[in-house]
Amino acid sequence: MSIWSRISDALSALASGEGLGAVFDKLRTPPERSVAFTIAVIALSAKMAKADGLVTRDEVTAFRDVFHVPPEEEAAAARVFNLAREDVAGFEDYAARIARMFADDPAVLSDLMEGLFHIACADGQYHPNEDQFLERVAEIFNMAPRDFTSLRARHVPDAAPDPYVVLGVDTSMPLGEIRAVWRQQVRETHPDQMLGRGVPEEAIRLAERRMQAINEAWEEISAHHGS
């Protein structure tokens, strides 16, 4: 059964009058955690769309690029998006439920933030309201400020990112310690690790940009130390 079929099953609970929050609470264990992850990205993306006032074609394309929604499942994805956008519950309530769901594995929350940044920056712009939205979600997820800054540096279209910020390391750290941080991030970004955390196969492309960014940052730092 595809993840989108399982999402359709979850939507049957919504049809009976349950809210998205109640559905989240039922999806705490594998393999349904991958369903919860996808619904979380859709729901928070819908809430984030309200932050800058519109949903662009680029943002929709970015979501499809990450999750590869089959044509026959687009209606299910759109239904979750519209339910989240129209739900009276605020985004902080969604974020808090998601934070509780993945409290035992904060790396999943980092993966989720990666997806939100990917969608927010898909149109080549990063609206101040989107920044406030994502920063608040990161706070609810108990993400360290340095980790949030690193995520933003990897995604936000701006000047060339500082490689030390991308890796989340200090310029004063010995090269060996920086190498250890880089290797740890490479391990955490491996698709097998992400699948083990409950990230659905459809979202593994989130790792591609992350891996490229951290490798480029390491190469720049190591070249600087070698010069």
> Per-residue pLDDT tens for 151-198?
898 888 775 678 998 898 998 899 999 999 999 999 988 888 887 776
- What is the domain extent for residue 217? 3-226
Torsion of CA 133, 134, 138, 144, to 10 degrees: -120
For 31-64, how does the pLDDT look when each residue is reduced to its tens digit (9 = 90+)? Answer: 666 777 777 777 788 788 777 665 556 566 666 6
CA distance 16 to 173: 55
The pLDDT value recorded for residue 227 is 47
Q: Give the model confidence (pLDDT) of 192-223 as tens digits.
A: 888 777 677 766 777 777 888 899 999 999 98
- Count the domains in the chain: 1
Q: Could you give phi then psi for residue 2, rounded to 5 degrees?
A: -70, 160
| Bigger pLDDT: 11 vs 64 | 64
The reported pLDDT for the residue numbered 37 is 76
The beta-carbon contacts of 189-196 under 8 Å, at least 24 apart in sequence, are 189/214, 194/111
Q: Which of 104, 129, 67 is nearest to 80 (CA)?
A: 67
